[in-house]
Amino acid sequence: MTTKPTLAVVGATGAVGSVMLQMLTHHADVWGEIRLLASPRSAGRKTAVRGEECEILALSEEAFEGVDLALFLVPETVAAQWAPIAVSKGAVVVDTSAAYRGDPDVPLVVPELNGHAARVRPRGIVAGPGSTTLALIVTVGSLHAEFGLAELVVTALQAASGAGAGQAGVDALRAQLGLVAADGDLGTHPGDVRRAVGENTGPFPGPLALNVLPWSGAPGADGASSAEEHVRDETRRILGLPGLRIATTCVRVPVVTGHSVSVHARFEHPVPLGRAHEILATAPGVVLCDDPAAGDFPTPADVVGTDPAWVGRVRRSLDDERALDLFVCADNLRKGAALNALQIAESLVTDLRDL
């Protein structure tokens, strides 16, 4: 291929899609035509990418004519149906949904850890993991390379814009905040926030404003949620540790964007704290931000809109010399979805040129 490749952004109007358009505007311009696709609801609307107004097209088979690479930023069911169609039209697909993450013929890729895996794609599809896995795995993966990971205990504090909620989650949280803002007594009696917010809690199973919800995703096995199962399955697959013990609890918190993850990581070998700091200070895609006495630790409000995973509160576990406790924050729409997909896509541009 001599000309620049044609890119399709499928789901250009969603929470991840909107961030993707910003990133395409600011990243090095390696693409020729950029085609924006969404549901028929959005067809005909205009939005800007690379400083130019671009019309949204309805997702259709014809829309993939001449497309070299398609970024899929749509719900799982839509990706499951349409990714093979895009491939049949000659496109390589990079998918952010959960549709193909468990498929052994679809590589599951985090460029900082296993970027090479994207080059072998029997189905023509490359998948990225979910935003909670992405928030923690770049950090934990860098430590694993030196100390050998034995076990993870993870509590994820997931933002309203996270997977399964997206733009609808942001809209619901903002509406709820409006409903609770005026009454300074709310949050002091059982059920008062629930009554103020009302029955319509959007994509959440209860009120999120002034509250936390220990559930996201669909019911999984043995009382786990699908979100919790995804963290375990994706982390095991990307790190190549099929037997890794991982206990996860996913909690939705009233943050618009930016996942936080509290991690207890147990390793095969004792962990010198100074060496752990050195590794984290130089790991690609990670920023160490760790002087709590000076108020220096990552929070979602501080890291939203940035690319890396930010890690702080790094300490040797009080009762276990082989374990570290740490706190990671990352923007779920950037590294948690759009950035990871775009990094994969950009790494494949040379392959597309060779086609």
Residues that bind ligand NAP (CB under 6 A): 11-17, 38-39, 41-42, 59, 73-76, 78, 96-97, 130-131, 161-163, 166-168, 332-333, 336-337
Q: Can you state the angle between helices 131-147 and 226-239, rounded to 10 degrees?
A: 40
CB of residue 166 vs ligand NAP: minimum separation in angstroms? 3
Q: Decide the pairing of beta strands 149-158 and 125-127.
A: unpaired
Closest to ligand NAP by CB, 14 or 324: 14
Please list the residues that pair with 219 across neighbouring strands: 225
CB of residue 217 vs ligand NAP: minimum separation in angstroms? 10
Closest to ligand NAP by CB, 41 or 174: 41
Secondary element (H or E) of residue 225 = none
Closest to ligand NAP by CB, 329 or 333: 333
CB of residue 98 vs ligand NAP: minimum separation in angstroms? 6
Q: Are 113 and 141 in contact (CB under 8 A)?
A: yes
CB of residue 58 vs ligand NAP: minimum separation in angstroms? 7
The secondary structure of residue 291, as a DSSP letter, is B
DSSP notation for 106-130 = S-B--HHHHGGGGG--TTSEEE---
Angle at 174 between CA 170 and CA 177, to 5 degrees: 140
CB of residue 40 vs ligand NAP: minimum separation in angstroms? 7
Q: Are 216 and 158 in contact (CB under 8 A)?
A: yes
CB of residue 116 vs ligand NAP: minimum separation in angstroms? 22
CB of residue 28 vs ligand NAP: minimum separation in angstroms? 23
Q: Where are the alpha helices (DSSP H) in the chain?
A: 15-26, 76-88, 111-114, 131-147, 166-181, 192-197, 226-239, 273-282, 300-303, 339-347, 349-354
Closest to ligand NAP by CB, 150 or 251: 251
Closest to ligand NAP by CB, 17 or 254: 17
Closest to ligand NAP by CB, 65 or 321: 65
CB of residue 45 vs ligand NAP: minimum separation in angstroms? 8
Closest to ligand NAP by CB, 14 or 202: 14
DSSP notation for 152-203 = EEEEEEE-TTSTTTHHHHHHHHHHHHHHHHT-TTTTSSTTHHHHHH-S--TT
Q: Which of 53, 172, 119, 96 is nearest to 334 (CA)?
A: 96
Closest to ligand NAP by CB, 161 or 180: 161
Compute the Cα dihedral for 199, 201, 206, 212 and give only its sign. negative
Which region holds residue 148: left if phi is over 0, alpha if psi is between -120 and 50, else beta? left
